[in-house]
Amino acid sequence: MTFIYQRTVRFGDTDAAGVVYFANVLSICHEAYEAALINLGVDARSFFRGEELAVPIVHGEVDFHRPMRCGDQLHIRVLPVMTTASEFEIRYEVLIEGFDRPVSRALTRHVCIDVQTRKRILIPAMLKQWIEAEAVD
């Protein structure tokens, strides 16, 4: 089942145009990815420090359909997709109640590498299971 992250837009997310600063939408989507991993049982502290395995982002992108404002209740759908044996993408749909279409869509592409050798490795089993389970949906 698709993981959904709930997040209230905070004052610190906004800019002087009165809406969420564009780059912060990617940060909020990354929070959703973190919440999905914690939900899977991943230990966020060691995972994101990259102590053994590192999963750096090699590409990010985001489209803005409607501005988001302080106090808005966001619902972010987190959709993982395997692209190669060592690489996956996360697609995000940012929804606000009352709007049919997502207010924003985003994507991050991640590569699994060995911290010592800096070479690509296979996506670890736990992530792979999650990605495959989502694909069945």
Task: Name the residues that contact its own copies, by CB under 8 A.
Answer: 8, 10-12, 14-19, 21-24, 26-27, 30-31, 34-35, 38, 43-45, 48-50, 54, 56-64, 67, 69-72, 108
DSSP, collapsed to helix, strand or coil, labels residue 131 as: helix
Nearest approach in angstroms of CB 4 to its own copies is 16
Nearest approach in angstroms of CB 77 to its own copies is 18
Phi, psi for 101 (deg, rounded to 5): -90, 155
Single out the catalytic residue among 15, 43, 63, 114: 15
Nearest approach in angstroms of CB 60 to its own copies is 5
Q: Collect all residues with Cβ–Cβ distance below 8 Å to 104 and sequence separation of at least 6.
A: 25, 62, 63, 64, 65, 66, 68, 92, 93, 94
Based on the number of CB atoms within 10 Å of its own CB, is 84 exposed (0-12), middle (13-18) or buried (19 or more)? exposed
Specify whether 137 is catalytic: no
Q: Which is nearer to its own copies, 51 or 132 (CB)?
A: 51
Q: Which is nearer to its own copies, 83 or 132 (CB)?
A: 83
DSSP, collapsed to helix, strand or coil, labels residue 24 as: helix
Q: Which is nearer to its own copies, 38 or 135 (CB)?
A: 38
As a whole number of angstroms, the distance between CA 82 and CA 68 comes to: 30
Q: Which is nearer to its own copies, 34 or 134 (CB)?
A: 34
Phi, psi for 82 (deg, rounded to 5): -80, 135
Active site members: 15
